[in-house]
Amino acid sequence: MERLEQEEMPKIVVRIAEARAEGDLKENAEYHGARESQGLLQAKINEMKSRLSRSVIMDGSAGPQDEIRFGVRFKVKRLGKGMIEEYELVGAGEEDFMEGKILPTSPLGRGFVGRKKGEIVEIDVPAGLQKFEILEIGE
């Protein structure tokens, strides 16, 4: 956000000033393009500020160490397929299913939260009911 405000926005302001110096603004594509860029950048900055103002720092080390909770990586075995998968419960904006980063509010996340090593968990996901065995927590 700081880079956008301190580096990128001044560049756009310079572009607007240069385009304005060229004369008639009604038919000045450079001017209109720079103004549009300025609006889009300001919207991005405003969105970042809004997210920051609503953000909460989560302490992943708080809570029981032997159960799945926010910020902890864990391994499970998908029963029936024998696949071993690794997940981590992360905050909004950090989720990336291909990297194993899931939200605690997702179907998988809700099914795993509070579970312990050795437990068998049945989770209803979009692909249907799946069974998992929890192999490792935080290792």
Residues 13-57 pLDDT 10s: 999 999 888 877 778 888 999 999 999 999 999 999 998 888 766
The domain segmentation of the chain, as residue ranges, is 2-54, 73-137
Domain 2-54 has CATH 1.10.150.20: no
The C-alpha angle 112, 55, 98, rounded to 5 degrees, equals 45
The first and second tokens of residue 79, run together, are 């029963």
Distance (Å, rounded) from C-alpha 125 to C-alpha 130? 7
- Confidence bin at 6 (pLDDT 50/70/90): very high
Q: Check if 2-54 and 73-137 are the same fold.
A: no
The CATH architecture to which 73-137 belongs is Roll (3.10)
Segment 69-96, tens digit of pLDDT: 988 899 999 998 889 999 999 988 889 9
Residues ≥6 apart with Cβ < 8 Å to 130? 78, 80, 122, 123, 124
What is the pLDDT at residue 111?
94
What is the pLDDT at residue 91?
86
- Confidence bin at 58 (pLDDT 50/70/90): low
With CA atoms as reference, report the closest residue to 130 among 81, 86, 87: 81
Residue 35 one-letter amino acid: R
Alpha-carbon torsion angle 59, 65, 71, 74, nearest 10: 170
